[in-house]
């Protein structure tokens, strides 16, 4: 029983990290109706920015205080997000959804290649930003890094939800996601909305990178988390920011339980397949996800 509850706790905490990555999908979708498959790569870029301004600068002989390097990383992220908007997605405004989907796929391999060219493919250690180790609550061991990350995820989810539903700026973004043409004709700047979407998306992805990687090893393979968070975002509903952490917990729990109880029987496959099986199930049964907006289509 103890081990079962321990698995539940760990699954929940890992699930919240998935939820955080899923939020970065959702903010981009909420503000521009683009599902960015390259989100994993963007997360890796955020992580590599942070590495460059901390350990990378240290290698070159500059001692940068942590606060300053985090600030620099955020600036780099914002610039990066603006660049993506300006050079990739602004020219594609009003193109069919197919073109935008393909652009995000092209971005996926472009960023993967660019990351390898700029930073090379070697693995490197990520600076310790969140406290390491864990503490005991009764018989259970709780990982401090993941707990802080989970709390951050929940706070962020409620903050962003408030932003998107209660502020004027956030509602404008929602209007753009609903229909570019109508939003434009009502005086909402589509360009600005998409720029904000990408800046939010890159910043949230970088936060996710910090939670996921703090004190661990960073390599280009980490980008795989993006594909893992996609089922989470779909399960929660692509429009729902508060749905993402909940869906993350569900998938994280399912994965942890499958890893513990079913993987020994299936040679390690169940936990890997589970998120995608859930994704196909969601698409078949409830395409809008748990909390997404139900789109009414004729026919």
Instruction: Provide, rounded to whole angstroms, the least separation between the CB of residue 111 and another protein.
Output: 8
Q: Which of these ranges, 144-152, 160-168, 254-262, 279-287, lies near another protein under the rule CB under 8 A?
A: 279-287
Residues 192-231 that bind another protein (CB under 8 A): 227, 230-231
Q: Determine the Cα–Cα distance for residues 92 and 88; give it in Å rounded to an integer.
A: 7
**Is residue 229 within 8 Å of residue 15, measured between CB atoms?**
no
Counting residues that bind another protein (by CB under 8 A) gives 47
Interface with another protein (CB under 8 A), residue from 194, 234, 257, 258: 234
CA–CA dist 179, 279 (Å, integer): 26
If we measure between CA atoms, which residue out of 211, 245, 171 comes closest to residue 23?
A: 245
Write out the DSSP string of 247-264: HHHHHHHHHHHIIIIIHH
* C-beta neighbour count of 280 within 10 angstroms: 11
Distance of closest approach, residue 45 Cβ to another protein, in angstroms: 14
Cβ-contact 77, 195 below 8 angstroms = no
DSSP for residue 61: T
Q: Enter the tokens of residue 37.
A: 């498959």
Q: Are 141 and 134 in contact (CB under 8 A)?
A: yes
Site string for another protein, 249-278 (x = CB under 8 A): -----------------xxxx--xx--xx-
Query: Using an 8 Å Cβ cutoff, are 73 and 126 in contact?
Result: no
CB of 112 to another protein, least distance (A): 5
Least spacing, CB of residue 32 vs another protein, in Å: 14
Site mask for another protein (CB under 8 A), range 77-116, x = bound? -----------x--xx--x-xxx-xxx-xxxxxxxxxx-x
Considering only 19-27, 46-54, 243-251, 281-289, which stretch makes contact with another protein by CB under 8 A? 281-289
**How many CA atoms does the CB half-sphere of 46 hold within 13 Å?**
34
**Considering only residues 18-77, where is the footprint of another protein by CB under 8 A?**
35, 37
Q: How far is the CB of 123 from another protein (least distance, A)?
A: 13
**CB 114, CB 200: distance < 8 Å:** no
Residues that bind another protein (CB under 8 A): 35, 37, 88, 91-92, 95, 97-99, 101-103, 105-114, 116-117, 120-122, 227, 230-231, 234, 266-269, 272-273, 276-277, 279-280, 283-285, 287, 298-299
């Amino acid at each position: 029983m103890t081990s079962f509850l321990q698995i539940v706790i760990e699954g929940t905490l890992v699930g919240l990290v998935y939820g955080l990555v899923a939020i970065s999908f959702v903010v981009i979708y909420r503000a521009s109706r683009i599902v960015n498959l390259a989100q994993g790569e963007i997360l890796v870029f955020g992580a590599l920015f942070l590495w460059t301004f901390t350990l990378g600068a240290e290698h070159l002989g500059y001692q940068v205080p942590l606060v300053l390097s985090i600030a620099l990383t955020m600036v780099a992220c914002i610039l990066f997000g603006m660049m993506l908007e300006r050079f990739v997605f602004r020219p594609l405004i009003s193109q069919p959804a197919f073109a935008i989907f393909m652009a995000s796929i092209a971005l996926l391999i472009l960023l993967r290649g660019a990351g390898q060219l700029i930073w090379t493919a070697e693995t490197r250690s990520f600076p310790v930003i969140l406290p390491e180790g864990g503490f005991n609550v009764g018989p259970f061991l709780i990982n401090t890094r993941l707990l802080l990350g989970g709390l951050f995820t929940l706070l962020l989810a409620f903050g962003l939800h408030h932003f998107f539903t209660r502020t004027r700026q956030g509602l404008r973004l929602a209007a753009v996601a609903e229909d570019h043409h109508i939003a434009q004709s009502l005086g909402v700047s589509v360009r600005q909305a998409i720029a904000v979407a990408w800046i939010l998306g890159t910043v949230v992805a970088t936060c996710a990178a910090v939670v996921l990687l703090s004190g661990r090893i960073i390599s280009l393979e980490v980008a795989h988390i993006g594909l893992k968070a996609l089922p989470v975002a779909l399960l929660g509903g692509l429009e729902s920011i508060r749905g993402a952490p909940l869906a993350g917990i569900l998938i994280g729990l399912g994965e942890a339980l499958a890893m513990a109880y079913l993987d020994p029987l299936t040679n390690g496959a169940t936990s890997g397949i589970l998120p995608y099986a859930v994704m196909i199930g969601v698409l078949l049964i409830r395409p809008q996800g748990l909390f997404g907006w139900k789109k009414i289509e004729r026919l």
